Each structure stands twice: as C-alpha cells, then as structure tokens.
Amino acid sequence: MRLADYTDYTLRVLMYCAAHRERLVTVAELAERHRLSRNHLMKIVTDLARQGLLETTRGRGGGLRLLGDPRAIRVGDVVRAAETDFRMVECFDADADRCTLSASCRLKSLFRMALRAYFDELDRKTLADLVTPPPPAVHAGTGGAARAGRSGIADKAGGRRPGRRLRAAPVPRTPPR
C-alpha cells in the first residue's frame, strides 16, 4: 500500500510545526526545508487550518502555528483526513467490483483486518511521538559563541537555523468497513 505524497507532506508540516511551537513557521520556510512547492504547501496549510489543526496569520510577520497539544493529535486521524482512498483491492468498492470470486473470496476480509490493524497502530501514536524532543539547552561556558536552537543546530551568530529534515511515513484514511 502506498499513501499519497499529500499525506506525507501533511505529516511533515504538522511535525515541523510541533517541533517549533514557540514561534510562527512560514510556508517559505517549510518549502525550503522540505524542498517542496510553495503552492502545494499552501493547499495543505489551508486544509489543515480548515480542519482546526493550524492557526494561520497573514501579512508581514505572519505564519502558521500548530493549534492544540501534539499529544492529542493522533497520527491515524491525520492520515484518514489526508488520504482519499483505502481500497486495497477492487472488491472494496461494490460499484467497481468485477471480480468473479467475490462471492466466495476471503481476501477482502483479510485485507480489511490488516487495514484495521494498521490504523489501530497509527491511532496509538500522536504527533508528539513523531517529533524528536529538543536537545538540552546549551550551558553557560560556551562563551556565547554559538547557541543551539530547538532543532539542535547552532549558527555562529547564536541564531537558530531550521532543524534536520523531518520524514514521515505515509498513513491511510478511514478503512472501508
């Protein structure tokens, strides 16, 4: 089973925002960090804001911020909202089913159980489980030459650079029942 890139990117946006909760994140920053199209990210951000997962602020100094606690956002729910099709085989769709074995086949039942187990596992994890905790603060004695940001990456001026690229495994929507 392969999930849509849209789902992967949706999870990346949410993970990045969860890792940078102390500030607004910009679409330009997300596009550069993940090497994705700004237009594609705008659609994802708009959808996430509509779902109540992101707050967006327009204009100069604007950006987006994760709404709510990452510990309360289940990965399974995000995947269900982002994916459009969990029909693993033709017979999952009664209108498109042309299989001559459907009446006696147990494959559909097996795939449904597998999909249910898949979502059960995704539902056990939250957005917080996908985000690496920030590194410990840099202690005095470093001379202030460098300061690590939440991402753990320091620059020479003591400012913060975006952290390492976050990768998310694709996740499915509501399984057919």
Query: What are the residue ranges spanned by the domains of the chain?
Result: 5-155
The token duo for 138 is 């840099």
The token duo for 56 is 């967006």
The answer to whether 120 and 174 have CB atoms below 8 angstroms apart is no
The token duo for 139 is 């202690």
Query: How remote is the C-alpha of 93 from its chain's centroid?
Result: 27
The token duo for 4 is 């849509």
- The pLDDT of residue 167 is above 50: no
* Backbone phi and psi for residue 80, each to the nearest 5 degrees, phi listed first: -60, -40
* Backbone phi and psi for residue 37, each to the nearest 5 degrees, phi listed first: -70, 135
- The pLDDT of residue 11 is above 90: yes
Q: Which of 74, 168, 69 is nearest to 125 (CA)?
A: 74
Lowest mean pLDDT among 29-38, 76-85, 151-160: 151-160
Which residue's structure tokens are 């017979």?
91
Strand-pair partners of 54: 66
pLDDT, tens digit, for every residue of 71-108? 999 999 999 999 877 776 666 666 766 766 666 777 77
Which residue's structure tokens are 């967006």?
56
- The domain defined by 5-155 folds into Arc Repressor Mutant, subunit A (1.10.10)
* pLDDT confidence tier of residue 149, bands split at 50, 70 and 90: very low
The b/e string for 145-164 (b: 16+ C-beta within 10 A; e otherwise) is: eeebbbbbebeeeeebebbe
Distance between CA atoms of 84 and 103, rounded to whole angstroms? 26
Strand-pair partners of 47: none
Lowest mean pLDDT among 15-19, 116-120, 126-130, 149-153: 149-153
- Looking at residue 72, the DSSP 8-state letter turns out to be G
